[in-house]
Each structure stands twice: as structure tokens, then as C-alpha cells.
Chains A and B, each alone.
Chain A
Amino acid sequence: MSEDFYIVVIAVLLPLTAGMLVAQRNPYHALVIRGIVGAVAALVYALFGAADVALTEALVGTMLSITLYAIAVRSSMSLRLGLLAAAPCDPDEPTPEEPPLAQPLLKALRRALSRHYLRLEIVPYASPEALQFALEKKEIHATCIAVTEALTPATAQSAASAPYHLSVRLPRLLEIVQNGVPPTLASVSLYRSRQMTTANLSDSPDARHNIWENQP
């Protein structure tokens, strides 16, 4: 037994790292620690003589699964915020710059979201109608418009004190945004789905397309 004492010491590492993985809250850190658990597990399997299991753990359990999960986490944990593009975009400039929205607002929003490990993804749209249509179609999670550009007078009235109005589609996201954005920067409200009037859309049939997608 004393000859194989090292096996016991190494096998204890596996529950130790697994406990670290379970206790981790940040999903990206948890992915990296999953890689660590995979490495330790491969070591334990090799010590017990199961070379084929160790190789499978390293190839599939570590390499493939953490790469796929990294892509899945990266594409799912984000808030898509629709904005109005200020000017017709320049075809010479392929990378979309952020529209000249109030930078403090975006900074406050980013800080509030990063507390919950979310990213902020900016999606520019050409017109307020397109913005509202995208929110209705669940292409984006929230819209941010200046009060002067507001589509409905009710929105403009409710947001008289703040220069911007954020309308969020999901209650949980509304909670996060309300806690992070000070009321002097923007007013926040929950967007309730309603039937779009067809008159709005018939004016501009291309309005619902994202303007960046129309570029060559």
C-alpha cells in the first residue's frame, strides 16, 4: 500500500479540481477549469493503466468539448442592442463604427452587463420603424433611441427627463439594465409586444433590413 501512496495523492486531485469547477461562477473561467479537470482526469486514467480512456478524455473531453462550449457561450451570452445609425454609412469603411450615441450610457450599460458576464452587441438600424420591427421579430433584445427621435409621443412623454430611452424585451434583462443605468442617462421600460401597423411598413419596404447587411 505504501508503494502506491502516490496514486492516492494524485487521485485526490480529481475531486479537488471538480469542486473548483462547480464553485466557479464565471462561465469562461469554468471552461478553462474544465480543461484542467480533463488534464488531471487523463493523468489519473493513465496511472490506472487505461491508456485508451486517457487519450479519449484528452481528445474529446478536453479539446473538443471546451472549444465547442467556448463558441456556444460566446454567442449566447450577449445582449443585442439596436441603435439608430446616425448617417448613411460609408461604403469605404467596412467595419461599422459605433453610432455617436452617448458614450457614458454605453459604458454604464457595459459595466452593468459585465457584472452578469454578458457582452453588449451593438446592431445599427436605419430607421425607428426598422428598430421596432426588429424588436418585434426578436432579432434584438433591446432598443436605445434618443427621445427626440422617438416613434410614439407616449414614449417621449414618459422619458421627458432623460435624453435616451431604452426599451427592453425581457423582464430579467430589464432588471439588470435598470440596476446598472442611472436614471439621468436613460429611462428604461419593458417592451410589450403589439401588432405592428402595416401602414408603417408599407412606407419603407426595405426598412426592416439591417443596414450593415445590405453592404457589399
Chain B
Amino acid sequence: MNGILIAMTLALLIPIYEAWQDEDIWQTMLAFASIATKTSIMILVVSVLRDDWMIGLVGVLILSVGNASLMLLAHVLRRMNEL
């Protein structure tokens, strides 16, 4: 359990570094998409390992909500660039 989650945390550090150093807003959005998906997958892994269905349900909801917020933000930013 320890090894799997620490490996996933290390994988999570890659998009965090990308969001930190990049200047382009769309690259930052890509890093956000990656982080939102990775964190919710980590929640699902924890829920399976702990056999906790409540956390699993919340993980599924967060997985879908993260993508929805990404799409909303992307639309607002795209319209800003058009103006």
C-alpha cells in the first residue's frame, strides 16, 4: 500500500512541476487536468485498499466534478482570448 501510493505521489509531482514553471495558460490547464484525474484515481485506490465504499463513491464524484470544472474554466478562458 505504501509503495503504490508513494509511486503515485511521485507521478503527481510531474504535472505540479509543469504547472509551476510554465508560462502558457493552456499548458497550466493541461497540468490541472492531469492533477485532477490523478488525485481522484488515488482516492479510488485508497478506497479499494481500505475497503471503504464511502470514500470510493466520493472519489468517483470528484473524478467527474474535476473534469466538469476544467471544461467550464476552459470555456471562460477561450472566450477571453477571443475578445
A interface residues (Cβ-Cβ under 8 A, vs B) = 2-3, 5-6, 9-10, 13, 16-17, 20, 26, 28-29, 31-33, 35-36, 39-40, 42-43, 46-47, 49, 51-52, 54-55, 58-59, 62-63, 66-67, 70-71, 74, 119, 121
Interface class of chain A by DSSP? helix
Q: A63 with B76: in contact, given A16-B16, A35-B32, A46-B58 (CB under 8 Å)? A: no
A52–B46 alpha-carbon span in the complex (Å): 16
Contact check, B77 vs A28: say whether CB atoms are below 8 A apart: yes
Beyond A5-B2, A54-B62, list 18 extra A-B contacts (CB 8 Å): A6-B6, A9-B5, A10-B9, A20-B19, A32-B29, A36-B16, A39-B40, A43-B43, A46-B46, A46-B59, A46-B62, A49-B52, A58-B65, A62-B66, A62-B69, A66-B73, A70-B77, A74-B79
B:38-80 near A, CB below 8 Å = 39-40, 42-43, 46-47, 52, 54-55, 57-59, 61-62, 65-66, 68-70, 72-73, 76-77, 79-80
Name the A residues within 8 Å of B54 (CB-CB).
Answer: 51
A10–B12 alpha-carbon span in the complex (Å): 10
Contact check, B73 vs A32: say whether CB atoms are below 8 A apart: yes
Q: A119 with B72: in contact, given A6-B9, A13-B9, A54-B43 (CB under 8 Å)? A: no
Name 19 interchain pairs, CB-CB below 8 A, sorted by A.
A5-B6, A9-B5, A13-B12, A17-B16, A31-B73, A33-B19, A35-B69, A39-B35, A39-B36, A46-B43, A51-B57, A54-B62, A58-B61, A59-B65, A62-B65, A63-B65, A63-B68, A63-B69, A71-B76
Interface class of chain B by DSSP? helix
Interface size class of B (residues with CB under 8 A): 35 or more
Name the A residues within 8 Å of B16 (CB-CB).
Answer: 13, 16-17, 20, 36
The 4 A-B pairs with the shortest beta carbon distances in the complex, nearest first, are A63-B69, A6-B5, A43-B39, A51-B58
Contact check, B61 vs A55: say whether CB atoms are below 8 A apart: yes
A29–B29 alpha-carbon span in the complex (Å): 9
Most chain A CB within a 10 A radius of its CB, from B5, B28, B31: B28
A39–B47 alpha-carbon span in the complex (Å): 16
A115–B73 alpha-carbon span in the complex (Å): 22
A42–B83 alpha-carbon span in the complex (Å): 34
Pick from A36, A47, A52, A55: contact of B32, CB below 8 A: A36
